[in-house]
Amino acid sequence: MSGLYLIVRMAGETVALPAADVESVVEIDAVVPVPGAARHIIGLSALRSRVVTVVDCAASLGREPSEARTRRDAVVAVVEGHPYALLVDGVDDVAASGGAAQELAAQAAPGWRRAARGQIEIGQNMLLLADIASLVAGPA
């Protein structure tokens, strides 16, 4: 799976997202809560004349929900025809990898064992390769 990757920080880890799966990177400010939604769904937000579902990646990984902030960095992606904004701690860079994804290391935390496709070498670093659809789905 060589190609371009968006490097982001989420749930205390620096991870890679396939750039081909990312529609845009935005700042989310106003979020309307959805009663009865899963714990990892923060709510809904308006983005360029459409509504996106806002996902807290930390909560999706089984960790404590992200702290509330007025403006939050988010990665926008479409999963099964629906737009989602995945809250991240920060966006670092876009980088290339010439190699293929490798099997996930055994010491990965439980949330990452579910939400990672493996790990990929980018530059001198081995990063988790996050699966956007698994982050949207949340914990089992």
Q: In this structure, is the dihedral angle defined by the CA atoms of residues 75, 32, 61 and 11, taken in order, positive or negative?
A: positive
User: pLDDT averaged over the chain?
Assistant: 90
Domain residue extents for the chain: 3-137
Indicate the burial class of 100 (C-beta count within 10 angstroms; 0-12, 13-18, 19 or more). Answer: exposed
pLDDT value, residue 72: 87
- pLDDT one-digit tens code per residue, 85-139: 999 999 999 999 878 888 876 677 778 888 999 999 998 888 999 999 999 999 8
Indicate if the pLDDT at residue 70 is higher than 70.
no
CATH architecture group of domain 3-137: Beta Barrel (2.40)
